[in-house]
Amino acid sequence: MSASTDNDHALGRVVDGRYRVEDVLAHGGMATVYRARDLRLDRPVALKVMRADLAADEQFVGRFVQEARTAARLSHPHVVPVYDQGEDDGLVFLAMELVEGATLRDVIADRAPLSPRAALRLLEPVVEALAAAHAAGLVHRDVKPENVLLGRGAHGGAVKVADFGLARLDVADAHTTEVLWGTAAYLAPEQVEQGRADPRTDVYAVGLLLFELLTGRKAFPGQDPLRVAYEHVHVGVPHLRDLVPTVPAGVEELVLRASATEPGDRPPDASWLLTELRSLRRSLTDEELDAVPVPPPPAGDATVPVAVDRHGARGRASGRTPAGPDDADQTQVMGLQPRETTRQIPTGGDRRGGSAAAPAEGHYARTTGNRTGRRTASPAPTGPPAPPARERRDAGATAYPPAGRGAPARRRGGAAAWVLALLLVVLGAGGAYGFWYLTEGPAVHSAMPAVVGLSEEQARTALDAEQLDPVVELDFSEDVPAGTVVSADAAPGAELRHGTDVRLVVSQGPERYAVPRLAGLTVDEATRALEEASLQLGARTGRFDETAPAGTVLETDPDVGTQQPPGTAVAVVVSDGPAPVDVPDVTGRTEQEARDALTGAGLVVEVSDERVFDDEVPDGAVVRQSPGPGAVERGSTVRLTLSQGPELVEVPDVVGRQFSSAEAELTELGLTVVREDVRGGFFGTVREQSVDPGTEVAPGTEVVLAVV
């Protein structure tokens, strides 16, 4: 099933119970991207669904998941954020921000060539995003116009880079351990030769983007991916000012440095490139920045494209460089040929604008850097001699070698012409023989030396002596010392063609990972940190701590920095917060006594403004507390309520009243009445009272009435 229809059954589905798939946005070699709606958060998302045949490969999926997690940790305003990743009934997916708008490919097709100001303005946020990624230890590996998105809005909206960390996936193969998923036109030489990438690989691709924005054409516009890959390694990027003379010399210098063939000649990472780009922009005048670009000549591939379909029919193709990515650019450079290819029949032309002929021997991805003094110059193209290269401006402040090499020197003369003629015959003779000649070709054989057990340097020397190319892969070993060859993919004595890549597995010693610093992290954060360090959370014990918040890690066993095998369980001690304290009973005590007792126990005292009457607790003493006696967390607050003593009543004047009436009133007020008769108390009239009228007394106070 083709990539375009492989996941069409996802349309209309609700993936993972959350994402309703609404429409197809794009198809790629690895996945299909859909517009979907996150039903949980009610927002649109871009859902990237892996092809079904790739989703069936556990190793492939595992790498996809790991790269997705890595990309999700990268937070930057110019990076398309990764929201979620998962698997649902065979669909392996990635949920990302949906950026509504165009791509840099659309800008190049509609508006290029651009002025230097417009080109640098578009490119600067791309470099900012890559600088943030490189600082986080992440390499994009697949920087191309299709992965630069321009959101809608004022001034074109935000510029965002997509697919961080998702460009490289490992698969099992008899001859290579890694397939580079990317567009041939933007692969760095080291990706072509050795299948490796580092920050300088992204810098190279940025240089090609700037070249394309300023010229409106690709630096390597060929349609045959093998030929394009060869040109990346052996030809070099054309000079800008040969194509667009109005481009300032400083801009051309920046493109040449960024897209240098040798990685060591480029800025070491995007942060360095960003500094140079901004410095360059400040150094240019407004006239230079806004220079109207002179349209470049037609795509100078120096060839006449001839389309060859699967049945062998031939027809002349358009000589125009397509604005969008052609089919061949989407081919896996280190994989099979596409079913329909476009072969290039050289007709001569501009040296810098054209594509160099294929190499005369060996395959296009020869790891030349591993062989001493045997780099073969490319055959000379036909046509008029090239003008001398423009003298380079002094790079000045750059601390690395200032510029990459241009096209390698070419020999001229009868022998070179015969070689070129032979190559052209081979290329035009047919796909099978031509492909054999480019990838194999006539060569002598060497005997594979015994290299297992040698040091890496000794093994390289032995292979170089036999004209074989070592391709080193590091792996952990519990038994073999670091730097020693563990295995080779060819047996000793085996006959190999000169220039054959021999994969060596070199020990990097036992696989060990340092226990990360976990103190102060929550248990969930500590778990993630351990997983990222290839370790796992072990036993968890609690301990009271007066300063560390409850739930945070206090210490680990083994200690921080200890080297451990992968999967080792790391025990943690987790804070239970401050130890609890006993709340003393302070009811009945004076306010000061209560404060002293509670603060001495490590508690905070709060006294209520409201006081209450109490017949038993004296005024100013604690009548109640909250919480009461018991164990609480140190530093807890205890609220006190104070007494204002018993509630008082005012004694009325009852002199001259009948005893029965006076007794009833005093008794109703809660007072105790005592009668003392004077002269027999015949009249029953109160003559005196023991408590003066208007006096406030406590309920129950005894009032003696003298009755006559």
Compute the average pLDDT of residues 358-365. Answer: 29
> How far is residue 484's CA from residue 351's CA, in Å, rounded to a whole number?
45
Confidence label for 708 from pLDDT (cuts 50, 70 and 90): confident
Based on the domain organization, do 274 and 132 belong to the same domain?
yes
> How far is residue 137's CA from residue 452's CA, in Å, rounded to a whole number?
32
Confidence label for 224 from pLDDT (cuts 50, 70 and 90): confident
Provide φ and ψ at 306, rounded to 5°.
-125, 115
Q: Is residue 5 part of a domain?
A: no
Based on the domain organization, do 274 and 407 belong to the same domain?
yes
Catalytic residue among 6, 142, 163, 614: 142
Based on the domain organization, do 401 and 531 belong to the same domain?
no
H or E segment to which residue 101 belongs:
strand 101-103
Compute the average pLDDT of residues 55-84. Answer: 82
Tens digits of per-residue pLDDT, 546-583?
A: 889 999 999 999 999 999 999 999 999 999 988 888 99
Residue 444 is predicted with a pLDDT of 59
Give bridge partners of residue 180 from the DSSP assignment. Answer: 168
Give bridge partners of residue 542 from the DSSP assignment. Answer: 574
Specify the 3-state DSSP secondary structure of 466.
coil
**Higher local confidence (pLDDT), 100 or 423:** 100
Most confident of 63-67, 366-370, 546-550: 546-550
Contact 58, 71 (CB under 8 A): no
Confidence label for 646 from pLDDT (cuts 50, 70 and 90): confident
Reported for 438-441, long-range contacts at CB under 8 A and 24+ positions apart, including other chains, are 438/226, 438/358, 438/359, 438/363, 438/364, 439/363, 439/364, 440/363, 440/497, 441/360, 441/361, 441/362
Confidence label for 699 from pLDDT (cuts 50, 70 and 90): confident
Q: Domain containing 614 — which CATH number? A: 3.30.10.20
Q: Encoding tokens for residue 553?
A: 């890690």
Residue 104 is predicted with a pLDDT of 93
pLDDT of residue 690 exceeding 90, the answer is yes
Specify the 3-state DSSP secondary structure of 403.
coil
Based on the domain organization, do 499 and 569 belong to the same domain?
no
Based on the domain organization, do 401 and 300 belong to the same domain?
yes
Compute the average pLDDT of residues 70-92. Answer: 86
Based on the domain organization, do 397 and 503 belong to the same domain?
no
Based on the domain organization, do 425 and 538 belong to the same domain?
no
Contact 370, 467 (CB under 8 A): no
> How far is residue 428's CA from residue 303's CA, in Å, rounded to a whole number?
13
Handedness of CA 286, 288, 289, 295 (dihedral sign): positive
Tens digits of per-residue pLDDT, 430-464?
A: 444 444 434 444 445 789 999 999 999 999 999 98
Q: Is residue 89 part of a domain?
A: no
Number of Cβ within 10 Å of residue 96's Cβ equals 24
Residue that finishes a domain, picked among 575, 602, 617: 575
Q: Domain containing 128 — which CATH number? A: 1.10.510.10
Confidence label for 185 from pLDDT (cuts 50, 70 and 90): confident
**Higher local confidence (pLDDT), 361 or 617:** 617
Q: Is residue 62 part of a domain?
A: no
Compute the average pLDDT of residues 241-253. Answer: 94
What value, to the nearest 5°, has the Cα angle with vertex 339 and ends 336 and 343? 90
Q: Is residue 71 part of a domain?
A: no
- Neighbouring residues of 264: CB distance < 8 A, sequence distance ≥ 6: 200, 400, 401
Distances (CA, A) of 306 to 252, 299, 309, 382: 32, 15, 10, 19
Contact 130, 162 (CB under 8 A): no
Q: What is the mean pLDDT of the chain?
A: 76
The total domain count for the chain is 5
- Neighbouring residues of 313: CB distance < 8 A, sequence distance ≥ 6: none
Task: Using the CB atoms, write b or e for 434-456: b if 16+ within 10 Å.
Answer: beebbeebeeeebebbebeebeb
Based on the domain organization, do 603 and 673 belong to the same domain?
no
Residue 235 is predicted with a pLDDT of 86
268's torsion region: left (phi>0), alpha (psi -120 to 50) or beta? Answer: alpha
| Residue given tokens 């093994």 in the structure block | 459
Q: Is residue 377 part of a domain?
A: no
Based on the domain organization, do 119 and 143 belong to the same domain?
yes
pLDDT of residue 175 exceeding 80, the answer is no
Has 614 been annotated as catalytic? Answer: no
Residue that finishes a domain, picked among 405, 438, 471: 438
Tens digits of per-residue pLDDT, 482-537?
A: 999 999 999 999 998 887 888 899 998 998 889 999 999 999 999 999 998 899 99
Residue 546 is predicted with a pLDDT of 81
Residue 177 is predicted with a pLDDT of 32
Segment among 140-154, 294-308, 475-489, 581-595 with least mean pLDDT: 294-308
Distances (CA, A) of 547 to 550, 552, 577: 9, 11, 7
Specify the 3-state DSSP secondary structure of 215.
helix
Q: Encoding tokens for residue 56?
A: 């069936």
Residue that finishes a domain, picked among 452, 477, 507: 507
The one-letter amino acid at 539: A
User: Crossing angle of helices 199-215/249-258, nearest 10°?
Assistant: 140
Specify the 3-state DSSP secondary structure of 28.
coil
Return the half-sphere exposure (C-beta side, CA atoms, 13 A cut-off) of residue 106.
Answer: 9
Compute the average pLDDT of residues 386-405. Answer: 40
Q: Is residue 661 part of a domain?
A: yes
> How far is residue 636's CA from residue 660's CA, in Å, rounded to a whole number?
57
Based on the domain organization, do 681 and 657 belong to the same domain?
yes
pLDDT of residue 305 exceeding 80, the answer is no
Closest CA to 409 of 454, 378, 385: 378
Q: Is residue 78 part of a domain?
A: no
pTM: predicted TM-score of the whole model, two decimal places: 0.45
Contact 145, 105 (CB under 8 A): yes
Q: Where are the alpha helices (DSSP H) in 498-575?
A: 523-532
Compute the average pLDDT of residues 269-297. Answer: 87
Confidence label for 379 from pLDDT (cuts 50, 70 and 90): very low
CB burial of residue 509 (10 Å; 0-12, 13-18, 19+): middle
Strands (E), 615-668: 622-626, 630-633, 637-642, 649-650
> How far is residue 427's CA from residue 529's CA, in Å, rounded to a whole number?
54
Confidence label for 400 from pLDDT (cuts 50, 70 and 90): low
Contact 582, 595 (CB under 8 A): no
Q: Which structural domain range is residue 587 located in?
A: 580-642
Task: Using the CB atoms, write b or e for 376-411: b if 16+ within 10 Å.
Answer: eebbbbbeeebeeeeeeeebeeeeeebbbebbeebe
Q: Is residue 378 part of a domain?
A: no
Handedness of CA 531, 536, 542, 545 (dihedral sign): negative
Based on the domain organization, do 596 and 657 belong to the same domain?
no
Specify the 3-state DSSP secondary structure of 329.
helix
> How far is residue 302's CA from residue 350's CA, in Å, rounded to a whole number?
7
| Residue given tokens 């060596």 in the structure block | 504
CB burial of residue 13 (10 Å; 0-12, 13-18, 19+): middle
Closest CA to 331 of 180, 137, 456: 180
Based on the domain organization, do 240 and 153 belong to the same domain?
yes
